[in-house]
Amino acid sequence: MENLKKRSNLLRKIGNIIFTLVVILCIPFSIPRIMGYEIYAVKTGSMQPKYPQNCVIYVEEANVIDVDENDVITFKLGTDTNDVMTHRVVKIDQAKKAFITKGDANSGVDKEPVVFSRFIGKPVFMIPFLGVLRPLFSTIIGFVALAFLIVLVVALWISSDILYKRYKKEKMQQDEIEKKDTAGQTDKKKHKKFSLSVVVPLVLGIVLAIYAGGKLFLIYHDYGKSNQLYANLANQYAKKKRKVKKDEWYNKIDIDFKDLKKQNSDVVGWIYFENDDISYPILYSGDNKKYLRTALDKSDAIAGSIFLEEKNKTDFQDSHSLIYGHNMRNLSMFGKLKFYKREPNYYEGHKYFQIITEKKKYRYEIFAYEDVSERSFIYQVPFDKTDEFQQFIDKIRNKSYLKSDIEVTKDDKVVTLSTCSVEKQRFAVHAKRVDEK
């Protein structure tokens, strides 16, 4: 009989130990990811002693402009692979838009320069030896192993309860009524106390999981709601033509501004990428904060709206016009702009976009894009046709990831599309007007 109790306690303790170990192992591979860090295991000793083999590094997303010589960076090994490397920057080649890197333990620099588009971020801290466990959280076999451990824990707890009930039943049969009641009350209290120590954390965990799941549901529900709203607007007010001659760019889409403005009188235009990736109304209120988290129908929305800078003219006749849009995870709004810096061939198929107003249609060709700070010089508006504006254009081109032969002068009309990137950083795409109808 006492043997049953010992076996019950043993199984319960083993289950608790395994459960605790699983939770402890999950923390370094889950909490940092929620906080926005990318997690990688170091497989070689090229960065010893700073980052020894089999350690885990936590990489924070950063912009190229924040990288200096002697910084350690994490980058993709190629444009067609997900394999990454972490080495130190020994030189920055601005002409080629590339980093020259070297492993601290290596005798020479890496054979191939790292172009800016392959840059991922900077490692901010590391945990030694944890890399050997990384496959548990990144492979199918690892996930199966974790699932098996969780099932094993549940099985151990259930077995412990079964054995304890058998022990309790046999003890009640042996003892006299008075002793049975006393012993039963004592054991019952002990068991309840022990059970609470397991149940309370589990209940808290379930509550937190439900809360986090609810938050995620609300976020993605908001995404879906915004997507549906703008899809309906595009279907109702933006009429695209299927067959259009190549040089008749202006016939690809027509906007019904009269009815669209009945929905919201702040509509001043429509931005349309000719490959259909981006197609949204442009709003203007004279207040840059109004449409940050407000949709065209004036409902609250995480995605907000595409809107024109408060200092710009709504006819897009300023030398420099600024248009803002959120970098959404589901790639809506300006979420696809990031592909200009991430995908080497993306630009070739996405050079042109249109801005359509009630009176005119304008076509723009992209000539530059780069990461900038939230207080960058690019947010200056308006400009006159002066040498100062030419210097502004030249500065943009010098900092651009894209090196194009497109001529841009102070007489051109320039539009900048700005979207959020990492904290206190922005990604900007610049285009010049090349035609109008």
Does residue 247 lie within any of the structural domains? yes
Residue 179 resides in a domain: no
Look up the CATH number of the domain holding residue 312.
Answer: 2.40.260.10
Q: Does 36 map to a domain?
A: yes
Give me the pLDDT at residue 188, please.
52
> Per residue in 195-219, pLDDT tens?
555 566 666 666 666 766 666 677 6
User: Count of domains in the chain?
Assistant: 2
H or E segment to which residue 287 belongs = none
Taken in order 8, 13, 16, 18, the sign of the CA dihedral is negative
Q: Kindly state whether residues 49 and 117 are assigned to the same domain.
A: yes
Question: How many Cα atoms within 13 Å fall on the side-chain side of residue 310?
Answer: 8
265 lies in the same domain as 152: no
404 and 263 in a common domain: yes
DSSP at 377: G
Residues 244 and 163 both lie in one domain: no
Write down the pLDDT at residue 151: 86
pTM of full prediction above 0.85? no
Q: CA angle, corner 22, sides to 20 and 25, nearest 5?
A: 110
Same domain, 107 and 21: yes
Cite the beta strand spans of 34-184 per DSSP E: 38-41, 56-61, 72-76, 84-93, 98-102, 114-115, 119-127
pLDDT, residue 194, reads 47
Residue pLDDT, tens place only, 356-365: 999 999 999 9
Amino acid at 307: F
Q: Which residues of 63-75 are buried (b: 16+ CB within 10 A; e: fewer)?
A: bbeebeeeebbbb
Residue ending a domain, choose from 155, 174, 193: 174
**How do the residues of the chain divide into helix, strand and coil, expressed in percent and rounded to 5?**
40, 25, 35
Among the three residues 174, 204, 220, which one is the final residue of a domain in this structure?
Answer: 174
Residue type, 82: N
Task: Clarify whether residues 425 and 322 are in a common domain.
Answer: yes
Residue 266: how many CB atoms within 10 A of its CB? 21
Determine, yes or no, domain membership for 138. yes
Residue 21 resides in a domain: yes
CA pair distance 30, 124, nearest whole angstrom? 16
Cα–Cα distance between 355 and 249 in angstroms, integer? 12
Helix (H) or strand (E) holding 154: helix 140-174
The answer to whether residue 402 sits within a structural domain is: yes
Range list of β-strands (E), 325-424: 352-356, 361-373, 414-420
Q: Is residue 29 part of a domain?
A: yes
Q: Which CATH number characterizes residue 12's domain? A: 2.10.109.10
Query: Domain end: 174, 196, 217, which one?
Result: 174
**Burial, 114: exposed, middle or buried (Cβ in 10 Å; 0-12, 13-18, 19+)?**
buried
Catalogue the active-site residues. Answer: 326, 420
Residue segments in the chain with a per-residue pLDDT below the cut of 50: 191-194
What was the pLDDT predicted at 362?
Answer: 97
Residues 290 and 154 in one domain: no
**131 and 272 belong to one structural domain:** no
pLDDT for position 193: 47
426: domain range? 229-436
b (16+ CB within 10 A) / e for 331-365: ebbbbbbbebbeeeebbeebbbbbbbbeeebbbbe
Q: Confirm if 88 and 100 have CB atoms less than 8 A apart.
A: no
198 within domain boundaries: no
